[in-house]
Amino acid sequence: MAVMTIQKADVSKELAVLSQVLETTKAELKASQDKIAFLTDENKVILQEKAMIQGQFKQLQGSL
């Protein structure tokens, strides 16, 4: 009985550690997802700016 009590305590400690690791991992995943969303939006803006600059460049080439 004493061995089982010790084993249960060990498992409970390990479960607590793993739960904390899981919560940390979830927080890191959320931060990564937020960063991906930000970079995706930033990329869209950059692509729009690039298209605008390319259009201006073509107009300048045509005027030469």
State phi, psi for 27 to the nearest 5 degrees: -65, -40
Residue corresponding to tokens 């700016």: 49
pTM: 0.70
pLDDT tens track of the chain, all 64 residues? Answer: 888 899 999 999 999 999 999 999 999 999 999 999 999 999 999 999 999 999 999 999 999 8
